[in-house]
Amino acid sequence: MIETGARRREIDEVASELFHANGYAATSIRDIARALDMQGASLYAHVASKEDLLWAIVDRAASAFEGAADRAFEETAGAMRSSGSPPSSRRTSSRDGRPGAVERVRDRVAPPLARPPRRDLRAS
């Protein structure tokens, strides 16, 4: 049985701390189990694999980031609507003309009608 409740969150948090401190490759399932005061084999009742733990941690971090980006976008859009300011046309891009991280996140979370028109930076 693979858990998704409070115990699984505790396992994910401990695994995250160990991955951060020792690195993913240097952290074993036994290390994680030991930190949780359980047997290594018992941990497999809660998780499918070490890779499953890593993906759960990454997925939770990405979801938190997307939530924060959504809130920031909504706060900014609300402030711009109330002040009557038009959206900024300034775009964050990498040196090679591809969209930068800020632009990729904004494009993913912004409603299509709120996005500024896309322009080809390589054509300039």
- Return per-residue pLDDT of the chain as tens, 124 residues: 455 688 999 999 999 999 999 999 999 999 999 999 999 899 999 999 999 999 999 988 888 888 888 888 888 877 777 766 555 544 444 455 555 555 666 666 555 545 455 555 555 4
Q: pTM for this structure?
A: 0.57
* Maximal CA-CA distance, the chain: 61
Cα distance between residue 49 and residue 38, in whole Å: 16
> Hey, what domains does the chain have and what are their CATH numbers?
6-112 (1.10.10.60)
Beta-carbon count within 10 A of 12 CB: 20
Cα distances (angstroms) measured from residue 99 to each of 59, 68, 96? 22, 20, 9
Give yes or no for a contact between 99 and 108, defined as CB atoms under 8 angstroms apart: no
Tell me, what's the pLDDT at 72? 86
